[in-house]
Amino acid sequence: MINQGVYVYERSLNGKSVLIFMNGSSKEVNLPLERYAEVLHDKVSGKNIITGKTISLDKELKLTPKDILVLEL
């Protein structure tokens, strides 16, 4: 799925899933998350696999230019 220059996709296996956000633009993006309700499965947060930090998934997600975010749901 592409929205505002951000590519979003999900991968799942054995009941675990990751959601990948890639900002392909050179601008900061505030991405509304209601569009991704089907893949978020009512999750309100995800764990950034790289940093270990918890990321809120309630309304929108802020991505810096060329940012890549890999979340464990």
Reduce the secondary structure of the chain to three states and give it as a string. Answer: CEECCEEEEEEEECCEEEEEEEECCCCCEEEECHHHHHHHCCCCEEEECCCCCEEECCCEEEECCCCEEEEEC
- Please determine, for residue 1, whether its predicted confidence score (pLDDT) is greater than 70: no
- Please determine, for residue 67, whether its predicted confidence score (pLDDT) is greater than 70: yes
pLDDT tens readout for residues 8-62: 999 999 988 999 999 999 999 999 999 888 888 888 999 999 999 999 998 999 9
Order of strands across the sheet that contains 45-48? 2-3, 6-13, 16-23, 68-72, 45-48, 54-56
